Amino acid sequence: MRVLSGIQPTGRFHWGNYFGAIRQYIDLQGQREDAFYFIANLHALTTVRDPSQLRQSTLDAALDLLALGLDPEKATLFVQSDVPEVSELCWLLMTGTGMGLLERCVSYKDKIARGLSAGVGLFAYPVLQAADILAYDSDVVPVGEDQVQHIEVTRDLAASFNHQFGETFVLPKAQVLDSSARVPGTDGDKMSKSYDNTLAVFEEPKPLRKQIMRIQTDSRPMEDPKDPDTDHLFQLYSLFAGDPQREAMAAVYRAGGFGYGSVKKELAGLAEEFFAAARERRRALEADPDQVEQILADGAARARKKAADVLLRAQVACGVKA
C-alpha cells in the first residue's frame, strides 16, 4: 500500500500548511507500508518565475519537511524534477486527455476568475499531477477537499488509458485530510500566502510574537463575554493548547473581563514551545547541506526506479516501445 503526496515550494510553510496537511503526511508515513513525498517544483513554475527563488524555496521545503518529522527511513522524499520519467509519462497521458475535462477543473476556473493568465502549464496542471500519482503505482493520495477533483481526473485518465491499451495503471483513491483543525490567518480569513495573512512555522520567536500581537480582533469591551467557538484567535490558540488549557481559556472567554492581548501572549508562548524542537532540527540540517542533498538524491533514485518501471509499462502498452 503506497501513499503519495506533493507540496509546492512557493514560499515558507505556515501554520495552515502544517496543521492542514504536513502533520497528517508525517503521521501517514508510519501507517502505510510505503510513503512517497515530493517537492513539486515543476508545478511551482506556473507561478514562480525567479530561478534563484525557486531553487531556494525547494531547499527550504526539504529542510522544513525533514525538521518537522518526515523520516527518510520511513518515507521517500525527493524533488519532482529529479524524476524526468514523470514528464515523459505526462505526455503519454496528455495525448488522450480531452480539453473539456481540463476546462471543467475547478482550480483552473478559480484562478482564471481571479485574473491569473491562462498559460498552458496552468491548464494542463492536472495531467502532470496525474503523472505524479500514476508513476509510482500510488494507492492512496491524501488531499484537501478542494483537491479531490484532481484525483478523480487522475482516475479518469488512468481508466481511459487502461481501456485503450490494457491494464497499465493502478487507480488511486483520495484520502481527504482532516479539516477539523481550521487554521485562520491573522485577519480571520483562511490562512493563505495569497491573502498575506500567514504565520510562518519557522519564524524566529521575536518577530513571530510581534506578528501574533498584531492579529486582528473585534473591538468589544473587555468586560463583555465572548464566544470562543466563533473567535479566530481562540481557534489559533486551540491548535497548540492541550484539552485542559483549551477548556480553561474557553471559560475565560465566556466569563469576559479579559483582554485579547493576554490570549495573544499565551498563544505566542505555546507556538514557540510547540515548534522549538523542529526549529533546532532545522538549524542542524541547515548546517549539514551534504546530508540534505544525500537524502534527496537517495529519494530521487528510489523514485526514479519505480517511475521507470511504470513508464516502460505504459510505453510498451501504447506502442512507443516494443
pLDDT tens digits for 142-166? Answer: 998 888 999 999 999 999 999 999 9
Is 80 exceeded by the pLDDT of residue 245? yes
Looking at residue 270, its pLDDT comes to 98
List, in sequence order, the alpha helices (H) in the chain: 15-17, 23-28, 41-44, 51-67, 85-94, 99-103, 106-113, 120-123, 125-134, 148-165, 205-213, 232-240, 243-255, 260-274, 276-286, 289-318
Looking at residue 118, its pLDDT comes to 72
Instruction: Please tell me the pTM assigned to this model.
Output: 0.93
Q: Taking residues 128-151, what's their average pLDDT? A: 94
Q: Taking residues 204-229, what's their average pLDDT? A: 95
Cβ proximity of 191 and 199 under 8 Å: yes
Of these residues, 74, 109, 173, 193, which one is catalytic? 193
Q: What percent of the chain has pLDDT over 70?
A: 99
Q: Taking residues 275-288, what's their average pLDDT? A: 98
Q: Taking residues 13-22, what's their average pLDDT? A: 94
Query: If pLDDT is split at 50, 70 and 90, which confidence band does 78 have?
Result: very high
Query: If pLDDT is split at 50, 70 and 90, which confidence band does 237 have?
Result: very high
Cβ proximity of 29 and 71 under 8 Å: yes
Identify the structural domains of the chain with CATH numbers, from first to last.
2-182+288-318 (3.40.50.620), 203-274 (1.10.240.10)
Of these residues, 74, 173, 190, 226, which one is catalytic? 190
Query: If pLDDT is split at 50, 70 and 90, which confidence band does 181 have?
Result: low
Catalytic site includes residue 109 = no
Is 80 exceeded by the pLDDT of residue 115? no
Of these residues, 109, 111, 173, 210, which one is catalytic? 111
The CA angle 183-184-190, to the nearest 5 degrees, is 100
Q: What percent of the chain has pLDDT over 90?
A: 84
Catalytic site includes residue 190 = yes
Looking at residue 59, its pLDDT comes to 97
Is 80 exceeded by the pLDDT of residue 111? no
Q: Taking residues 18-39, what's their average pLDDT? A: 90
Give Cα 312 to chain centroid, integer Å. Answer: 29
Instruction: DSSP letter for 296, please.
Output: H
Residue 144 half-sphere exposure, CB side, CA atoms within 13 Å? Answer: 15
Catalytic site includes residue 321 = no
Is 70 exceeded by the pLDDT of residue 180? no
Looking at residue 178, its pLDDT comes to 81
Looking at residue 194, its pLDDT comes to 79
The CA angle 166-43-72, to the nearest 5 degrees, is 85
Q: Taking residues 3-8, what's their average pLDDT? A: 94
Residue written as grid cell 481501456: 163
- Compute the mean pLDDT over every residue in the chain, rounded to the nearest whole number: 94
Is 80 exceeded by the pLDDT of residue 282? yes
